[in-house]
A and B are shown apart, each in its own frame.
Chain A
Amino acid sequence: MQQVNTNLKYPTRYEVEQTLTDFCTRVFVDKFAQSRGIFITKAIQDELSEHLSGFFFEHFDIEEIRDAAYKRNSSNTLAGFVVTSQDEAFDPIQALDALRGSNDLEKGVVLGAIVEEVNTDGSKQFKGAMEYVDKKPGRIEFLQEEIRRFDYTIKPIGENSYQILVECQKSNDAKVFENLVKKRTGKDVRSEIIDADILSAKNTISFFDELANKGMPTEWRLIEVKQLIFRKGKSENEEAEEVDAEELSGITQAILDGNNLRENKFVKQSEESGYRFTAMTYEFEHKNHPLIIQIRAEFKSRPKVFEVGIHDFKHREGLQAKTTKAELSDREEIELKTYIWQRSKEIYKAIMSQKLEKDE
């Protein structure tokens, strides 16, 4: 028998209407209606949602609405952490594998089989998948329990030290997995993340500056900084602000000229006013093929996670350099994101060690 999901209650009209109004974007609701041949004209989103709630939908339609409400999409970001222990017997792979067969898992948590992979350089990594229930009390029943799934990779990187990368659809996936690994692998297990809070405002600028230069494999060349988000201070309550286009072009130029980004007038003023960089979207072109890629790197604050993702990937065509959407295979995508995440970690470590030297 096919696997039966028992959490398949049929939503009420009210739940469908509220979900489409309050948790989905207008773009999604328009697309959902129109792809089914339904057009409600001169309607604001509330009205459109009310009309749509009058239809009976099948399972896949309902899941499509729920996915949109949970902001799930097919493009995942990559986040990660390193776990280390003093204990020589420390082995998170074995611990997770043992946990798979036990009754010791929380309700709703499912761990898939762990598969070993050998890289071209002979090093090994282990891949697995996890499913869990993300509870959201206070929401309408239809949205209270979200079943989330993600893939992870564990790579031994030194004595009793493992790098764990999580293919997240939401930043929370990485945090949940980090907590599970810490809880299940021993008391003295330490986990390290790329933590923006430890960096000064000045260092957050250096981090993104370095990432523009060293974050991608050498066959890619930076052409533009597409977006830069910054925030005053470390508090989550401070609203994130986006740098406008004019300043962005100055920032792009400073990086392309190989100048220290902190010397740029706008950046200097921002740093002096206590602004910290929290996210940047870079556009790169391939040196040998007509390909353009946008990469986004972001320090999330709730939960505290650093993640990288592929924002856009295009193929350039013809004399007018028209672009069309291009596809990366799953493997290419994960390899590229892993590369960027590892560079990010190295840049972060280098900044931290300079900071330590300075402090000493």
Chain B
Amino acid sequence: MTRQVEVRGGSYRDSVGLMQVSRDLRALAGVSSALVAMATELNVDLLVSMGFEQPSGLGPGDMIVAIEADDADAVMRAREALDSALAARPAGTGATDGSADVPPPSIAAAARRTPARLALISTPGRVAAIDAADALGAGLDTMVFSDNVTIEHEVSLKETAAAAGLLLMGPDCGTAVVDGVGLGFANVVRPGPVGIVAASGTGAQHLMSLLDGAGIGVAHCLGVGGRDLSSDVRARSTLVAMDRLDADDEVSTIVVVSKPPASEVAGIVTAHAGRLATATVLGYLGAGQPDLTATAERVAAAAGLTWVPPRRWGGPLPEPRRGFVRGLFVGGTLCDEAMLIAAAELGAVASNIPLEGGRRLDTTLTASGHTFIDFGDDTLTVGRPHPMIDPSLRLERLERELADPTCAVVLLDIVLGLGAHRDPASDIAPLVGRYDTPVVVALVGTRDDPQGLEGQAATLVHAGAVVHASNAAATRDAIAVIQRSST
């Protein structure tokens, strides 16, 4: 065992740096103890307590270097290490830029870093209300894509938003367009005079697409979540969204798209619309109400613009035949609309999201007569992406229906736009071409959507499908293939 104490004069170092050096020396092989410290009273006591001899004549400007090691070589290595440590620039010096990259751990933290005015939340539904409250607290308009937020939390968030003059879109808001920017699943729209308030994501996408097909642009599409016009939520976000659109000079016509609201809520919305300076169309999709295509036409009229009926691509459909219609949808509102039209013509239909008076499919979703399935329903998206992104479940079902002799015609929707599957037609077309069963497609998309509206239609038509830009028209075309018992 070798001990050595050295005193170095005139080499002041701060205590923290020397503690670090001491620690590094102690970690060297063969070194059992080391103290590198300025010769303060405290450190001299420490030196003695460690069993070293106290050098004489120490002053506070002196540095003590005390090393205990296995042999002289180890002491030498420790002193060399000390020399290089004292000569080296401390690690990290000058590298001050990295700290600017601390990523924001919360929405409020992000809002402090940038002058944002909108938050888009798609965190798990169980905790999404926490993030939404954070965003509203930071003064941001907030879109909550997440579903499974409780209705109590939805009401509380919407009260908070309204009190702060903020717009809460959602929860379960799949689509919005703000200043022409698409949020969530949204279509690429051209600028224009229409402002949409939507309690339905795919309903809003369809309306935007129909207007786009008629050459009519959309300024904003503000989603409010599917429950906003329920008697619990009382249209809280709808009213804020209507006010926002009313205050926007760019908007000449407002349209509210929703399932028919509870009667007292309908009264609230109608009264509110009457107070706006902007012409407002209330497009409630339900039994005895206009379909979305008719609503789009009313919007065009209200805006004083020329209406262009939605396109149809493809050849004639076969003569009416025995069997059933099978509707396979990714959009819940599109499925609803098709069922409303079909039920009026064919009588009650079966579905996993049945209309009032309709038959409910069991959990196996086994077809039963005229059958409509919404593959975007919450129960079918547990543990897998939405069918607008991952088509596999519906493709599997499509093949079964095409091969089913009781199926007279298949009705499909395809929803294009931001966030959706890159090329849905190419997945579907080969199946359509392989079977004789007629297929009618409602193609929801705009001219400028990334998938290419014309290309998608051409692929489907080439495979033998009939394609409509209007879901209502597609449904009527499909129903026409069914031979009625009365005829």
A and B are partners in one complex rather than unrelated chains: no
Q: Which residues of B contact A (CB under 8 A)?
A: none
Q: Which residues of A contact B (CB under 8 A)?
A: none
